[in-house]
Amino acid sequence: MPLKTMNGRWFGTGFGLVLVCLLFVVNQNCSAQNLVPNHSFEERDDCWQFSGFYYPEDGPLGWFSGGESPDYFQACGSFGDAYSQPLNYVGFQHPQDGEDYVGIVTYAISPYETREFLMVQLNTQLTIGQTYYASFFANVAWDGTEPYPVAWMASNNVGALFTVESRQWEQGDPLPGMVNDAQVFHPWIIEDTVAWTLVSGSFVADSAYHYVMIGNHFDNTHTDTVAVGSSTNPPTAYLYIDNVCVTTDPDGCPMASEVVVQSAMAPLIYLNPATSQVSISGLPMNSRVVVHDAVGRMVLSVDDFSGVGMIDVSTWPRGAYVLRSFDGKDALTFKFVLAG
């Protein structure tokens, strides 16, 4: 990203329900069956110190841009250089694996709806009908060397989209269209600025995919955000990415261990869109409920929520809001819109 500027998932239409979960893990490496070359971005021609990479030879070898300019953070830089690690212009983080990692914008609203995507060609094409396991680690960038943080938000939905053909992005091209889906994605906001978060899941290949594309493949309407800090710069969410893995072996990639099943008795928010009141039902008893607006400002906080209730939103500005509940075990996220 130039200075100027679910674990697994709940699959959408056409993919079905798959394993999803959230787990914080360190020091897990992909096995020898990993189909992702240069999976932790250690292989490079030189110590690249510039504002991003576009082509397979520009940064981590084999990886290229599927949209805008992903960044490459390397141990070979001097501490505090813009593109060094652990301290760089956008945040502070040690690698999850090896010495290097990359970074991408996952949400932005100004000057337009922006994303950054990184791609690589897999070692072999995927076999139609075969089950695959995929994972990578992500971490929110915050509080780097810039006096006014470039990125100060966190978002959900980062994931891995598998494609049949290369989508090499050229400067001046439009960004790829947001498909609001991916074979594996993280439906919850990743907002931990300290620990790496594992994004993982499984899927059955329905095409002979040969590439994987990492990023947020959902448009802003379908993306939830929260502020992790503040800045005079436009709202932007940015994630470090490391240790990408794809395999046919259930034990071949770091994988989350829990299964989240969508229940018919799932919590419900209605009316949506709303005008004066939002009703909530089905949340766990004694949950903490918070609501943020579209730029991450908290507008409501309720402790010991009874599980069923109504929020008076008649005086709130019209627009999108995110409601989150926490009961000590699970975190649930919902989006609603005020109209009229």
The secondary structure element, H or E, covering residue 270 is strand 268-270
Euclidean distance between CA atoms 337 and 278, whole angstroms: 10
Closest CA relative to residue 310, chosen from 289, 336, 280: 280
Q: Span 6-32, mean pLDDT?
A: 36
Q: Exposed, middle or buried, 90 (CB in 10 Å: 0-12/13-18/19+)?
A: buried
Measured CA to CA, the distance from residue 276 to residue 340 in angstroms comes to 9
> 196, 155 in Cβ contact below 8 A?
no
Q: How far apart are CA 202 and CA 119, in angstroms?
A: 19
Structure confidence at residue 202 as a pLDDT band (50, 70, 90): confident
Residue 266, pLDDT score: 54
Structure tokens at 284: 């766990």
- The whole-chain average pLDDT of the chain stands at 83
pLDDT score of 336: 82
In this predicted structure, the answer to whether residue 243 has a pLDDT above a threshold of 90 is yes
**For residue 303, what pLDDT is reported?**
85
Q: Give 246 or 259, the one with higher predicted confidence.
A: 246
Residue 220's φ and ψ, nearest 5 degrees, are: -65, -30
- Please check the confidence at residue 164 and state whether its pLDDT lies above 80: yes
What pLDDT does 136 receive?
96
Band the pLDDT of 330: cuts 50, 70, 90. low
- pLDDT reading at 20 higher than 80: no
Written as six digits, the tokens of 39 are: 């999976």
Q: What pLDDT shows up at residue 36?
A: 98
Mean pLDDT of 83-89: 94
Distance CA 61, CA 67 (A): 17
Measure CA of the first residue to CA of the last residue in the chain; give whole Å: 37
**pLDDT band, residue 127 (cuts 50/70/90):** very high
Q: Is the pLDDT of residue 261 over 90?
A: no
**pLDDT value at 17 more than 80:** no
What pLDDT sits at residue 24? Answer: 34
Q: pLDDT category, 14, cuts 50, 70, 90? A: very low
Residue % of the chain over a pLDDT of 70: 84
Which of 21-30, 196-205, 291-300 is most confident? 196-205
Residue 328: the pLDDT is: 65
pTM over 0.85: no
**Residue 290 β-bridge partners:** 301, 324
Query: From residue 155, how far is each of 152, 190, 213, 259, 296 by CA, in Å?
Result: 10, 6, 18, 22, 10
**The dihedral formed by the CA atoms of 204, 209, 211 and 213, expressed in degrees to the nearest 10:** -50
Pairwise pLDDT comparison (49 vs 230), residue with the higher score: 230
Phi-psi region of 215 (alpha: psi -120 to 50; beta: other; left: phi over 0): left
**More confident site: 285 or 18:** 285
Structure-token pair, residue 299: 């507008």
CB under 8 A, 24+ apart: contacts of 84-90? 84/49, 87/144, 87/145, 88/144, 88/145, 89/3, 89/144, 89/145, 89/146, 89/150, 90/1, 90/141, 90/144, 90/146, 90/149, 90/150, 90/151, 90/238
Sign of the dihedral through C-alpha 160, 30, 105, 123: negative
Determine whether 22 is exposed, middle or buried from the number of CB atoms within 10 Å of its CB (0-12, 13-18, 19+). Answer: buried
Please work out, in degrees rounded to the nearest 5, the angle formed at the alpha carbon of residue 2 by the alpha carbons of 8 and 64: 50
Please tell me which residue, 331 or 57, carries the higher pLDDT value.
57
pLDDT surpassing 60 at residue 23: no
Domains of the chain from N-terminus onward: 1-262 (2.60.120.260), 268-338 (2.60.40.3080)
